Amino acid sequence: MTKGVLGNDPFQRGAAPRTGEAKDAAADPKAAKKSAKGAKKSAGKAKGAKASAPKSGPQAKAPKGGKGAEAKQAAAAPKTPAARVHKFEARADGRGNGNGKPAQDAHAPGDEGSPLREPSTPEPASEPRPQVLAEEVHGSRPQERKVDRALTEALASDAAEAAAKTAVDGLFEGRRGPDRDIERVLATELVAELAESAVRQVLDDGDGGAPERELATAVATQVAEATAGVAVDEVLDRHATSPEERALPTAEDRDARDLEDAEDEATEGVWTADAWRRDPKDVPPPADSTEEVWTADAWRRDPEGIAVSGDPEEDDDFVSGVERVEENGVHISVSIIEGAAPTDVDPEVELPDESHDELPPSRRPLSLVGDAGERPLEEELERGEAAFDRPEESAPPAGFAGRAVGMLSLARDIAGQALASEGLGRAVGAMHGLMEAMRTSLGTGGGSRLDDYGKDAGLVENLQPVLDFLYEQYWRVSVEGIDQVPRGASILVANHSGALPYDGLVMSQALLRERPDLLEARWLVEDQVFHAPMLGTLFNRLGAVRASPENALRLLDEHRPLVVFPEGYQGASKPFAERYRLKRFGRGGFVKLALRTGAPIVPVAIVGAEETSPLLGRLPGGFLGFPSLPITAPGPLPAKWTIRFGEPLTMEGLPPEAADDLGEVQRLTERTRESIQSMLQALLRERRSVFAG
C-alpha cells in the first residue's frame, strides 16, 4: 500500500470517516459536526504522534504496507474520548520515562478514564521539527557523527527530563487541585522540551564530540531547572483558561466559517483525524541511508512511525498538520521553539516555516477552532466579546525563554485582539447603522443633522459600513468613464432599474467615491417612492430628493451633479423580460432643465440593478399610495453592477428659450435615450454572467 492509502488520497480522505462512528455521523449533520469537533480535538494528539515520529526517523525500508493498513484501521479508534485520552497518557508516560514507550500502545482501547481532556495543553508541537531540520543539516556528515549525536541527545534529554521532573515536582509541592498530576506532567514536558531544544542548539553548533556530550547534558539540566518555574506557571495559566477562550475566532474568521456548510466542517474534521494517523509517517524527510541508524532508536519509541519518502502532497499534509496542531491552542510551545532555539530552523528547509508564514500569526490560532461547528451562531458575538479578556489571562512570564514566550504570545494576543475588535467594531457599526435605518424608516429615527432636503448626515455615516459592503463586496460596482462627468452642475440621466430603486443610492456612492472633487450628488425620485411609507422616508434621509422642477433647479443652482431617472416609476416597474429596454423618457423635463440652466446632460447606463431586485410580479397597492406593489426577491441579490458614463451632451449654442421648443426638447430627449440604450446593449453584450460579471 502506498502512502496515498494512508490518508493522503482525497478518495481515502473521504473514505476514512466511513469507518466507525463517523459513518453514522455523516448522515446526521449535527453529529457530523460533533465528530468534526472531536476529530479536531484529536489533532492535538496528532501532534503527539508526530512528535515521536521524527525521532523514529525516516524508516524508508520499514514494512510500509502492513503498517499503513494498521494505521488506517486504527483511524476510527481515536474518536472515542477514552482512546484519545489514553493515547495522550501513553505519550506523556513515554516522555516522562524518557525511553520512548511504544506509541502503538496509544491505539489500544483505553480502559481507564483519565481526567485529562485538555486538547490544548501545551504540548511540544513543533519539537520534532527542529530535529528533522537538524537531520537534514547534518545529513551529509559521517554516520558516526549521527550516532554520536543521537546518543548525546538521548543522554541529554534523559538528563533534562530528570532535572525537569525534579524541578517541577519541587514547584508543585504544596499546590493542589484536581488536575495536579496532569499539570505536573505537562510542566515536565514543557521543561524537557525547552531543555532539549537548548541541547539541540548546542549540538548543532558543535560537531558532537565526547566533551559535547557532557556539555549537552549539563546544558539540559541547567535549562530544565531554569525554566521549570516558567513552565509551571505557563501550564497552570493555560490550564485555568478554557479551550474556547484560548482559541477565539475573529469576526473575519467567523464570516469565513459561516460560508462553510456542515458537510465541509465534517470532512475537515475527519480529515484532521486522518491526518493524526498520517502525520507520524509524513514527518520524516526523504529517506537516505544514514537514517537507518536512527531507526533502531526511533523504532523503540514509535514502532508505528513509518518512513515515507516525501512528495509534494506529503508536504502539504504536513503543513496542515502542524497548523492544526497549533490551532488547538498549543501555540505556546511553538513560541518557545521560535524564541529559544531559532537556529534550529534551517532556512533551506521550508517545510515548517511555510506553515508559519502562511497566515499572520494572530489569525492562525483563531481560524479553525476545534469546536466551531457545534456552536450556534448566536453565541459567536458573545465569544467575540470574550476575546477582550484574553490578554489579561496570559501574563508574560519572566525568565530565560519565558520572556521571549511572553513577548510573542503578548504580541499575538494584541494582534488577535486588534483583529477581533476591528472586525467586531465593523460588525457592530453595521448593525448599529441598520438599526438606525430601521428606526428612521419607521419614523422614530430623530436625526439632528439634516440638511434642507432631508438628508441625514448622521444616518449616512452610520450606514457607511453597510453601504461600503454593498458597494465593494456585494454588488462589486464597477464604474467606467466617470471622468466624463463635468464639474459643476450636470444632469446625469440613467435608466431606472429594479423593483426597488437602489440605483440612485449607488450612483451617488459611485460619484462620492470616484469623483471627490464634485459636490455631493443628489438623485431625484418620483412621488410614488418618495411618499411611500418607510421606504420614502429612508430614501429621503439617505439623500433622495422628490422629483420636481423646483427641486431640480435649486440643486443645479448649487452646482451639484443631479441624478435623474426620466423613466420614472414606469422604469422601476418594468417586467423582467424587458428590464433593459428603456421606457418613454417622461416629458423631457430633464432636457428643459438642461436648456434652462445650461447644465450638460451625461447619459449613464446601469447594468445589474435589474437583477438585484427583479420584478417578479405586482400587487395592487392603492391602500399604501402605490400604483402597484412590486413582488421581488426578499433582499437585494448579489448581481454585479456596472455603471458606464457616456459622453456629455453640452447645451452650448442652444438658448434657454429652446426649452419652450417642443421639437428641440424631443430631439435631445431622443438622443439621450438612444445613447443610454446603446450603452446598455454594449454592457449586456460584454457581460458574461449576471452574478460574476
Partner 1 sequence: MRIAVTGANGDYGKLLLPRLEADPGVESILVLDTKEPPPMSKVEFHRVDLTRYDAEGELTDALTERPVDALFHLAFLFGPILNGPLAHELEVIGTMNVLTAVGRARLPRLVVPSLTATYGARGNNPALLREGSPLFGCPHSRFVNDKVEVEGQVRAFRERHPDTRTLVLRFAPLLGPSLDNPATRLLSHAVVPTLLGFDPLWQAVHEEDAGRALHLALRAEAAGEFNIVGRGVLPLSGLIRQAGAQPLPLPGPLFRGALRALGAVGAGTLPVALLDYMHYSWVADGERAESALGFVPLYHVRDAASALRRSQS
Interface contacts to partner 1, rule CB under 8 A = 440-448, 450-454, 456, 527, 530-531, 533-534, 537, 541, 545-546, 548, 550-551, 554
In the complex with partner 1, the residue whose CB is nearer, 367 or 441, is: 441
**643: helix, coil or strand?**
strand
Choice between 111 and 550, CB closer to partner 1: 550
Place of cell 494576543: 413
Closest contact distance (angstroms) between CB of 115 and partner 1 is: 56
Nearer to partner 1, 547 or 649 (CB): 547
Cell of 659: 426649452
**CB-based burial of residue 312 (10 Å sphere; 0-12 exposed, 13-18 middle, 19+ buried)?**
exposed
The answer to whether 336 and 2 are in contact (CB under 8 A) is no
Nearer to partner 1, 213 or 541 (CB): 541
Neighbours of 691 (CB within 10 A): 11
Between CA 24 and CA 28 the distance in angstroms is: 7
CB closer to partner 1, 454 vs 598: 454
Nearer to partner 1, 318 or 530 (CB): 530
Residue labelled with grid coordinates 473514505? 15
Residue 391 and residue 245: Cα distance in Å, rounded? 11
List C-alpha distances in Å: 30 to 34, 265, 271, 334: 6, 10, 17, 33
Task: Find the shortest distance in angstroms from Cβ 368 to partner 1.
Answer: 45
Q: How far is the CB of 586 from partner 1 (least distance, A)?
A: 16
For residues 523 and 540, what is the distance between their CA atoms, to the nearest angstrom?
10
CA 315 to chain centre: 22
User: What are the phi and psi torsion angles at 628 (to 5°)?
Assistant: -155, 155
Least distance to partner 1, CB of residue 612, Å: 23
Min separation Cβ 494 and partner 1, Å: 21
Nearer residue to partner 1 within complex by CB, 448 or 473: 448
Of the two residues 96 and 447, which places its CB atom closer to partner 1 in the complex? Answer: 447
| Dist CA 531 CA 203 (whole Å) | 82
Report the alpha-carbon distance of residue 332 to residue 239 in Å, rounded.
Answer: 12
Supply the DSSP string of 131-195, one letter for each residue: HHHHHHHTTTS-HHHHHHHHHHHHHHHHHHHHHHHHHHHHHHTT---TTHHHHHHHHHHHHHHHH
Nearest approach, Cβ of 627 to partner 1 (angstroms)? 14
- b/e code 496-506 from CB counts within 10 Å (16+ = b): bbbbbbbbbbb
| Choice between 271 and 530, CB closer to partner 1 | 530
Quick one: 495 or 528, whose CB is closer to partner 1?
528
Query: Residue 450 CB, nearest distance to partner 1 (Å)?
Result: 5
